[in-house]
């Protein structure tokens, strides 16, 4: 009789302990995103608190990843960046390990993304991967949307087309932003991110 409730209690306690000690991300859909600050490629330091009251998009990126190259070359990313340029703060985040061959200097990064006609506020450099791991960013690209109250409302892929070959693709970020700015709830708040792995320093 007592066995089952006990199992449940043990499981719940175990899960709580697990969550507390195992680096399960602090960032969760529907919950406020913890404050963080990082240096941008322009040399300035940016904090999430700087953008309070605005919608923030975080885009994990690495210009040497074929998926990132594809979403920029096909205009998948830039179309959404341009569409919401006046209404959201778009930040790219680079969590590449400085010792990894994919790492590039701020100057070289600025040049590459300019060539791609990218429009974002700045690229944040996260060489230790602290913020990347906090968000559990897995791939480049991996997209996150934070609403005006600093709550996470979307985490996942830019769209549902990893190969870039679908004719009827669904752009999750575009949809979520249009819902959010139209005062509606975000219907799809998670999707499977796709891309290259984030090149974290270990």
CA contacts within 13 A on the Cβ side of 11: 6
For residue 164, give both structure tokens: 């870039």
Q: Which of 55, 57, 124, 198 binds another protein (CB under 8 A)?
A: 198
- Cα 2 to chain centroid, rounded: 44
What DSSP line would sit under 40-60, residue for residue? Answer: ETTS-EEEGGGGTTSEEEEEE
Determine, following the binding rule CB under 8 A, whether residue 196 of this chain makes contact with another protein.
yes
Determine, following the binding rule CB under 8 A, whether residue 194 of this chain makes contact with another protein.
yes
Q: Which of 138, 148, 151, 169 binds another protein (CB under 8 A)?
A: 138
Determine, following the binding rule CB under 8 A, whether residue 104 of this chain makes contact with another protein.
yes
User: Which CA distances in Å does 139 have to 60, 87, 93?
Assistant: 7, 25, 11
Q: How far apart are CA 202 and CA 194, in angstroms?
A: 21
Q: How far apart are CA 104 and CA 68, in angstroms?
A: 15
Q: Which of 78, 81, 139, 150 binds another protein (CB under 8 A)?
A: 139
Backbone phi, then psi, for 47, in 5-degree steps?
-120, 150
Determine, following the binding rule CB under 8 A, whether residue 202 of this chain makes contact with another protein.
yes
Q: Which of 15, 17, 49, 85 binds another protein (CB under 8 A)?
A: 15
Return the number of the residue (101 or 167) whose C-beta is nearest another protein: 101
Return the number of the residue (63 or 127) whose C-beta is nearest another protein: 63
Q: How far apart are CA 48 and CA 131, in angstroms?
A: 11
Determine, following the binding rule CB under 8 A, whether residue 39 of this chain makes contact with another protein.
no
- Interface positions, 107-136, toward another protein (CB under 8 A): 112
For residue 25, give both structure tokens: 């991300």
Return the number of the residue (39 or 138) whose C-beta is nearest another protein: 138
Instruction: List interacting residues with another protein (CB under 8 A).
Output: 11, 15, 19, 28-31, 63-67, 69, 100-102, 104, 112, 138-139, 162-163, 188-200, 202
């Amino acid at each position: 009789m007592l066995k089952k409730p006990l199992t449940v209690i043990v499981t719940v306690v175990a899960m709580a302990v697990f969550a507390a000690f195992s680096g399960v991300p602090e960032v969760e859909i529907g919950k406020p995103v913890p404050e963080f600050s990082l240096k941008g490629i322009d040399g300035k330091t940016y904090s999430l608190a700087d953008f309070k009251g605005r919608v923030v998009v975080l885009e994990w990126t690495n210009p040497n990843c074929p998926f990132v190259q594809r979403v920029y070359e096909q205009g998948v990313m830039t179309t959404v960046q341009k569409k919401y340029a006046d209404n959201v703060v778009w930040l790219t985040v680079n969590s590449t390990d400085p010792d990894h061959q994919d790492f590039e200097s701020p100057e070289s990064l600025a040049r590459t993304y300019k060539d791609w006609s990218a429009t974002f506020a700045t690229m944040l450099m996260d060489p230790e991967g602290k913020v990347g791991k906090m968000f559990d960013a897995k791939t480049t690209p991996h997209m996150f949307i934070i609403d005006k109250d600093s709550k996470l409302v979307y985490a996942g892929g830019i769209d549902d087309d990893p190969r870039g070959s679908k004719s009827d693709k669904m752009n999750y970020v575009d949809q979520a932003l249009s819902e959010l700015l139209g005062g509606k709830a975000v219907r799809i708040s998670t999707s499977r991110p796709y891309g290259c792995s984030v090149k974290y320093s270990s």
